[in-house]
């Protein structure tokens, strides 16, 4: 039928990946080749990011600089190293993480090219679409978390007695950067969750109607998540974060309903409606 996907037996004739017919040794050689390319890309990314570490450090210290600015005391928050090699270790960690981000298009492409033989052409383009949607959503979550961190640090600092806290706080640099990276990653992943929901729908694990019906529980989860990443007294920030996550979830739900409708239109007997 015109427009139908090529069958597996015709893969070689239609120019689809030949790896399907590879032996185990061939797959291992292909895996080694792609791992080498990914490793070289990571190394190049780390070298490039080494020239950006000063800018990255300034960017990551924005939260504590903002705290000091808000309270009018530049000596209130300071970073300190407890070992001689601490500054080098910190720069290496930053270069490694930045290198992973910079080289992500290359190693993500290598991963997809390796698993392509297990996907149809349509599924391959779906996967590319997922990556294209996940990256801006993740970066949006990271940027939002960066602007939430000063409030979080201020609230955490307020638990210490004021008469003692005024002498200043010394943050261990490595622990501080670990805290910042964890917060950025958690919020970033939270923003990418709708992409995984759509992926599960396309895989046939969940249906659009199920996603829609779960909106009440999702709203509660979004409010709890917003409460965890925002100061207790800052209701506006909590509602803002929860609203963004809930809107992203509902957009994912609408996409799931659309995909279900298209599948039902092509094959009415594919599945029974969820009660």
Q: pLDDT (tens digit, 9 = 90+) per residue, 227-263?
A: 877 766 667 778 888 888 899 899 989 988 888 888 7
pLDDT top residue among 24 and 21:
24
Domain spans, the chain: 23-266
- In this structure, what token pair is assigned to residue 49? 């990011």
Query: What pLDDT score does 160 carry?
Result: 61
Q: What value does the mean pLDDT take over residues 113-122? A: 66
Residues 163-185: b if buried by 16+ CB within 10 A, e if exposed: eeeeeebebebbebbebbeebbe
CA 124-130-135 angle, to 5 degrees, is: 135
Q: Which of 183, 201, 203, 194 lies closest to 221 in space, CA to CA?
A: 194
Q: What is the Cα–Cα distance from 255 to 2, expressed in whole angstroms?
A: 26
Query: What long-range pairs does 77-85 form, CB within 8 A, spacing at least 24?
Result: 77/153, 77/168, 77/169, 77/171, 78/168, 78/169, 78/170, 78/171, 79/170, 79/171, 79/172, 79/173, 79/176, 80/170, 80/171, 80/172, 80/173, 81/172, 81/173, 81/174, 82/172
40 has pLDDT over 90: yes
Q: How many helices (H) and strands (E) does the chain have?
A: 11, 2
Q: What value does the mean pLDDT take over residues 218-222? A: 90
> Measured between alpha carbons, how far is residue 33 from residues 61, 110, 242 in Å?
39, 9, 43
Query: What pLDDT score does 1 carry?
Result: 40
pLDDT top residue among 80 and 124:
80
Q: Which of 164, 171, 154, 148 lies closest to 72 in space, CA to CA?
A: 154
With beta carbons less than 8 A apart as the criterion, state whether 19 and 117 touch. Answer: yes
Tokens 């622990």 map to which residue? 175
Q: What is the Cα–Cα distance from 130 to 111, expressed in whole angstroms?
A: 14
With beta carbons less than 8 A apart as the criterion, state whether 139 and 104 touch. Answer: no
Q: What value does the mean pLDDT take over residues 53-65? A: 81
Ranges of beta strands (E only) in the chain are 77-80, 169-172
Q: Which of 14, 2, 60 lies closest to 183 in space, CA to CA?
A: 60
**Segment 145-159, tens digit of pLDDT:** 877 777 777 767 666
Q: At 44, is the pLDDT very low, low, confident or very high (cuts 50, 70, 90)? A: very high
Q: Which of 216, 162, 164, 222 lies closest to 193 in space, CA to CA?
A: 222
- In this structure, how many other beta carbons lie within 10 angstroms of the beta carbon of residue 156? 13
Q: What's the mean per-residue pLDDT of the chain? A: 76
């Amino acid at each position: 039928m015109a427009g139908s996907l090529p069958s597996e037996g015709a893969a070689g004739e239609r120019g689809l990946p030949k790896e399907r017919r590879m032996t185990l040794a061939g797959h291992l050689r292909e895996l080694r080749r792609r791992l080498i390319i990914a490793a070289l890309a990571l190394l190049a990314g780390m070298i490039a990011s080494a020239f950006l570490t000063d800018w990255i450090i300034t960017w990551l210290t924005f939260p504590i600089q903002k705290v000091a600015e808000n309270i009018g005391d530049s000596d209130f928050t300071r970073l300190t190293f407890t070992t001689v090699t601490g500054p080098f270790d910190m720069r290496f960690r930053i270069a490694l993480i930045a290198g992973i981000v910079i080289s992500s298009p290359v190693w993500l492409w290598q991963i997809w090219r390796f698993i392509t033989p297990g996907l149809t052409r349509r599924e391959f383009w779906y996967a590319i679409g997922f990556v294209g949607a996940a990256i801006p959503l993740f970066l949006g979550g990271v940027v939002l978390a960066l602007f939430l961190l000063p409030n979080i640090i201020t609230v955490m600092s307020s638990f210490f007695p004021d008469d003692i806290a005024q002498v200043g706080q010394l943050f261990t640099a490595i622990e501080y950067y670990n805290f910042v990276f964890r917060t950025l990653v958690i919020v970033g992943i939270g923003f990418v969750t709708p992409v995984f929901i759509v992926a599960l729908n396309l895989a046939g694990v969940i249906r659009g109607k199920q996603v829609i019906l779960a909106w009440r529980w999702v709203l509660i989860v979004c409010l709890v998540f917003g409460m965890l990443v925002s100061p207790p007294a800052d209701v506006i920030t909590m509602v803002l974060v929860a609203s963004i996550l809930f809107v992203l979830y509902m957009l994912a739900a609408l996409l799931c309903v659309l995909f279900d409708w298209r599948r039902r239109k092509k094959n009415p007997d594919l599945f029974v409606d969820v009660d």
